[in-house]
Amino acid sequence: MSANGRGTKEAPFVSVIMNCYNSEQYLREAIDSVYAQTYQNWEIIFWDNASTDSSAAIAKSYDSRLKYHSGTETVPLGAARNKAIEKASGELIAFLDCDDLWYPEKLEKQVPLFKDTEVSLVYCDTLFFNSNGYRKRLYSGTKAYTGYCFSRLLSRYFLSMETIILRKESLKNLDYWFDERFNMIEEADLFRRVAMTGKLAMVDEVLSMWRIHSNSWTWKKTELVWIETRMMLETYGRKYEDFFKRYAKEVEILTEGIVREEAVFLIKNGDIEKARQKLKANHSSFKNRLLYFSLLLPESWRISLLRLKGKIL
């Protein structure tokens, strides 16, 4: 860290945003992965969203490079992330949720890409993992896009929160930062809006890890993703002139994906008829048609098809 806690042209100051709510189980491991960074010009802005476990005590056990802040009540994650950013003094904003991890070279390898003044966001590859030994690189089967790629982000979102570093200046061009209504897609919405005017750059190697576990909000409230995504599209339609006309194909692809995921969720929960009706109303894509017609098959065949979902759906 520079002597005055500020950045230089060669080593810009990075504010690492950590939003916490009852995250004691993995918290120390996450914080330690920031302290292990080979790039040293950073601070942690730790926002405690009114936790009731030992998260506060763990965070406060670190030195002054971790700035602890807390709210008096639990608020939606979008609102909590905004509160943390308000406290950040860095030229760059990085994000690490309290159950994820960074490799030691993450900041060192990503920060230099901001030398391109048109770059607003830098990301990297990441490793999805769990306690049972599951390991999968995010971009092993997904193409990574760089440059001006809002259209691609809109139709098929491909970023993961723990990989992101933002140029703070890019947030000044936005009417709002994280949408405070959202708990599930707050980052996908923000990074899409950043990508409307700014370039994306990438370090094509694994520099972070995204932990899969049953206590994750992502797995507990899956249905909120679809609700919030539709809200996001409605907001874009009101805010951006001719949005649905300009991005008709992208919106169609995104909407088809939402319907497909909803249908799979309903099928897994035994509501076949409701899934059939959703797909009947929106099965223009091959994948949706395939899933729709699978509901006409015997149950054993349908189960086999769903097992292939990760490969073909």
> Could you tell me the CATH number of the domain that includes residue 100?
3.90.550.10
Could you tell me if 78 and 134 lie in one domain?
yes
Q: Establish if 229 belongs to a structural domain.
A: no
Asked if residue 232 lies in contact with residue 189, where contact means CB atoms within 8 angstroms, the answer is yes
Could you tell me if 192 and 256 lie in one domain?
no
The identity of residue 174, as a single letter, is L
Q: Establish if 223 belongs to a structural domain.
A: no
| Number of separate domains in the chain | 2
Could you tell me if 195 and 98 lie in one domain?
yes
pTM of the model: 0.86
Asked if residue 1 lies in contact with residue 69, where contact means CB atoms within 8 angstroms, the answer is no
DSSP structural state of residue 14: E
Could you tell me if 256 and 155 lie in one domain?
no
Could you tell me if 199 and 301 lie in one domain?
no
**Residue ending a domain, choose from 163, 197, 212:** 212
Asked if residue 27 lies in contact with residue 98, where contact means CB atoms within 8 angstroms, the answer is yes
Q: Establish if 219 belongs to a structural domain.
A: no
Its domain, for residue 276, covers 247-312
Separation between Cα atoms, residue 218 and residue 49, nearest integer Å: 17
If phi > 0 it is left, if psi is from -120 to 50 it is alpha, else beta; for residue 285 that is beta
Could you tell me if 94 and 187 lie in one domain?
yes
If phi > 0 it is left, if psi is from -120 to 50 it is alpha, else beta; for residue 13 that is beta
Q: Establish if 220 belongs to a structural domain.
A: no
Residue 56: count other Cβ atoms within 10 Å of its Cβ. Answer: 17
Q: Establish if 3 belongs to a structural domain.
A: no
What is the model's pLDDT at position 304? 62
Separation between Cα atoms, residue 212 and residue 286, nearest integer Å: 30
Separation between Cα atoms, residue 240 and residue 253, nearest integer Å: 19
Alpha helical stretches, state H, the chain = 24-35, 55-60, 77-86, 106-110, 150-155, 168-171, 186-195, 217-220, 223-239, 243-246, 248-268, 272-281, 286-294, 299-307, 309-312
Could you please report the per-residue DSSP string of 22-59?
S-HHHHHHHHHHHHT-S---EEEEEEE-S--SSHHHHH
Q: Establish if 8 belongs to a structural domain.
A: no
What is the model's pLDDT at position 270? 78
Could you tell me if 198 and 117 lie in one domain?
yes
Separation between Cα atoms, residue 198 and residue 164, nearest integer Å: 14
**Residue ending a domain, choose from 168, 185, 212:** 212
Could you tell me if 74 and 188 lie in one domain?
yes
Per-residue pLDDT of the chain (313 residues; tens, 9 = 90+): 343 457 777 899 999 999 999 999 999 999 999 999 999 999 999 999 999 999 999 999 999 999 999 999 999 999 999 999 999 999 999 999 999 999 999 999 999 999 999 999 999 999 999 888 889 999 987 788 999 999 999 999 999 999 999 999 999 989 999 999 998 999 999 999 999 999 999 999 999 999 987 665 555 567 889 999 999 999 999 999 999 999 999 999 999 888 888 888 777 777 787 777 777 777 677 676 667 666 766 666 556 655 555 444 4
Q: Establish if 188 belongs to a structural domain.
A: yes
Separation between Cα atoms, residue 2 and residue 9, nearest integer Å: 12
Could you tell me if 138 and 278 lie in one domain?
no
Residues constituting the chain = 313
Could you tell me if 280 and 172 lie in one domain?
no
Q: Establish if 2 belongs to a structural domain.
A: no
